[in-house]
A and B are shown apart, each in its own frame.
Chain A
């Protein structure tokens, strides 16, 4: 590009077209000139490297003749901004179960809830506001330890991945439980997490034993809440709470006072003790039956 005005009438001597003039008006928006601080790039790289080192290998799911390849690469996710119901789950019934369905839009064709929720006007009250998972963004803590929350979160994921191996071993020794099995998939907030719920109707209610894998202990001031959910109309019934901070077997016993016939979805959210009745952050979700 030349730095000099060309002699005579040239493009620069012509008035701006209305659209370019409109664009010029946009440039007064200070957000258009926002810059991340210089250290953020290194923090992002460090966090992702730590996460990549801790990332477990994808499960080797044996191919089933006549069945489509269930791996994520079989159906790449389209990043188009469409919205569908979050937390698709892979139902299963009977004593044998497949590996838990990851919250994987490549398989389900939908976006993770954290992404799907983004496509709504921020000014629209209610839906977007209520559905938004609250991400751990403790600014005060981060100001003291810049970048620490990301590294800490990924390190926790790595640690939990190790714990998960032991958990599965316990389950195998126990030989499993009778009852209908439901696989719960981890949300985008905890993509490595999963759970298997064993649903056992009893005389006084429904006993639901949740075997959790890869779900980190609830941070202090929060807890996990389990629900059975009816979709029409949307209603959820609490079936128990837990925190996983005790280092136990990650096997949680829950009770539902309503039949899972009418409430076919089992979900786990992370709740704040300051707002225990709030929508919470979605963690795990699975569905009984088709």
Chain B
């Protein structure tokens, strides 16, 4: 991973693509969580997250996990995007009034980022079953018909996938310290 990060910092296109392919979907998940179902805005957030990350990439320690850093950039970029989209072109009310209402919390988006990472490393056949079930709304029988595989195969893939996800995300359950804890950070308003 370190050589990829070094390549990313240097602007090597192969490294940029590798980093993109590894993190673009989790970043899209954060973006979707914050901006809602607006594909243009999601794309904007993904694109800007990477460019902002690259612009600040001289601050990256190649030995550290990029995920929390990219997540933080993505979430902030998404929140800014929503505010910008909702900002009135005129009027005198405070920008705070334009902040998204009911936006997911930091813990929720960080959890979603990690769940998405875990989803992305599932075997494709298992991931497809989960996708058709949870997004497509198909029953296991319908999935079996769609994929042309036995019902038992669909059930086993689903079961394995969920157990694999549960295992890989165990830290979210057992180690609350691994979650981003708002108590550990301050976010007092800073004058620019």
Contact = CB atoms under 8 A, between A and B. Distances in A.
Tell me, yes or no, whether A binds B. yes
Interface of A: 1-5, 11-12, 16-17, 19-24, 26-37, 40-41, 43-45, 47-49, 51-53, 55, 58, 72, 76-83, 85-87, 104-106, 111-139, 142-143, 146-147, 150, 153-154, 188, 191, 227, 229, 234-236, 267, 269, 272, 274-275, 278-283, 285
A118 B70 CA distance: 11
Contacts of A113: 190, 192
A245 to B, nearest CB: 21
Q: Which of A44, A111, A267 neighbours the largest number of chain B CB atoms within 10 Å of its CB?
A: A44
Nearest to B13: A45
Given A27-B130, A115-B76, A120 B182 contact: yes
21 contacts: A1-B125, A11-B159, A11-B160, A21-B162, A24-B162, A27-B133, A34-B29, A55-B11, A76-B64, A81-B72, A82-B185, A104-B58, A106-B58, A117-B76, A119-B106, A123-B105, A125-B99, A129-B99, A135-B81, A137-B84, A281-B192
A78 B187 contact: no
A127 B96 CA distance: 9
B130 to A, nearest CB: 6
A58 B99 CA distance: 37
Contact of B54 (A28, A48, A126, A279): A48
A255 B106 CA distance: 41
Contacts of B111: 26
Interface of B: 10-11, 13, 16-17, 20-21, 24-25, 27-34, 37, 39-44, 46-48, 50-52, 54-56, 58-66, 68-69, 71-73, 75-77, 79-81, 83-85, 87-92, 94-96, 99-100, 102-107, 109, 111-112, 115-116, 119, 123, 125-126, 130-131, 133-135, 149-150, 152-153, 155-157, 159-160, 162-163, 165-167, 169-170, 173, 180, 182, 184-192
Contacts of A106: 58-59
A112 to B, nearest CB: 6
A137 B81 contact: yes
A21 B24 CA distance: 26
Nearest to A80: B68
B182 to A, nearest CB: 6
Nearest to B169: A23
Contact of A188 (B52, B71, B96, B191): B52
Nearest to A135: B80
A76 B44 contact: no
A16 B163 contact: yes
Given A150-B51, A279-B191, 16 more contacts: A5-B153, A19-B170, A31-B112, A36-B43, A72-B58, A79-B68, A80-B68, A83-B185, A83-B187, A119-B72, A125-B96, A130-B95, A135-B48, A137-B44, A139-B44, A191-B55
